[in-house]
Amino acid sequence: MIRNLLGSLVALAGAASAVLSPFREWYDGRVGRDYRVRDLFEGITATESGVLVSILLPFLAATLLVVVGVVLRSRLVVALAGLVVLAFTILWMVRQGQASGSLVVGGDGAGLQVGVANALAGGLLILIGALLMRGRRSRREEWKRGRGREREPVEPYAAPAADQVDTWPPTQEPGMSVQQSPWPEPEVDPYTGPDPRDPRTRSYPQAPHPEDDPRDPVHPPHRPPPPPPQG
C-alpha cells in the first residue's frame, strides 16, 4: 500500500513536469508548443504550431496513461507513459540536431534550455514511480494467500467450563495439572511399621496397636500439673 502510494505520487509529479515542459523554452528561445508533432517525423521547420497539434499532444496522452495506471495500480501502464515521454523528447533532440547541425547547451539563451530538461526529468520520474509501485496482486497470489489463511492452526479443544478447569482433555486454562482425572484419587494407608509375617523384617521393633497404646489417640500427651505447694 505504501509503495503504491509513493510510486503514484512520483509518477504524477513526473507527468506534471512533462505536461508543463512544452510551455517553456526548448531551443534558442523557442517554446516547446511551437514544434508540431509532424515535425518530429518529417524534420524541424520554422512553422509555428497550434497547441493541440504540438509536442504537447503526446505528453498529454502520457499523462492520461499515468492517471489510468495509478487508478488501476498497473506498473506496466505507468512505465509505458514514461517511455512515451522519453521517446518523443529524444526524437525531438535528434530532429533538432539534424536541423541545427549540432545540439549545444548555452547559458545565454542559445542551445538546449530548461523545457527539454523538464521533459526528460518528467519521463524519468514516471519510470521511477513505476518501479516503486508494487502493483496489483494476481489472482494466483490472492488464492495462495486465502489458502494460507485456511491452513492456520486451530485450537484442538474449546475452552472448558469454569467448573472443569483441571479435567481431561488438557486445556489452556490454569490449574494444578493438565492431565488430572475427574475421579478422586485413592487414599494410601498410613505406614504402621514392618510386617510381622515377613521373615526379613520380623526382628524389627513393632509399633503398638491402637488398642494397646496407652496414649490418648485424640488428645496429645502432656505433663501432669505440678502438685500444690505444701502449707
Mean of per-residue pLDDT scores for the chain: 77
For the stretch 90-128, pLDDT in tens is 999 999 988 888 777 765 667 788 999 999 999 999 999
For the stretch 152-211, pLDDT in tens is 555 555 655 666 555 555 544 455 544 555 666 666 556 566 666 777 776 766 665 555
Give the other-Cβ count within 10 Å of 171's Cβ.
17
Between helix 114-132 and helix 56-72 the angle, nearest 10°, is 20
Calpha distance 61→84 (Å, rounded): 9
Mean pLDDT of 143-160: 58
pLDDT grade for 65, boundaries at 50, 70 and 90: very high
Answer yes or no: is pLDDT of 47 > 80: yes
Query: Which own/partner pairs from 57-61 qualify as long-range (CB within 8 Å, at least 24 positions apart)?
Result: 58/84, 58/85, 58/88, 59/18, 59/19, 59/21, 59/22, 59/85, 59/88, 59/119, 59/122, 60/19
Residue 84: name the closest of 123, 118, 52, 120 by CA.
123
**pLDDT value of residue 204:** 66
**pLDDT value of residue 50:** 83
**Percent of the chain scoring above 70 in pLDDT:** 60
Mean pLDDT of 27-37: 90
**pLDDT value of residue 52:** 83
For the stretch 74-93, pLDDT in tens is 999 999 999 999 999 999 99
Highest-confidence range of 10-19, 39-48, 139-148, by mean pLDDT?
Answer: 10-19
Answer yes or no: is pLDDT of 213 > 90: no
**pLDDT value of residue 80:** 96
Mean pLDDT of 137-148: 61
**pLDDT value of residue 56:** 93
pTM, entire model: 0.59
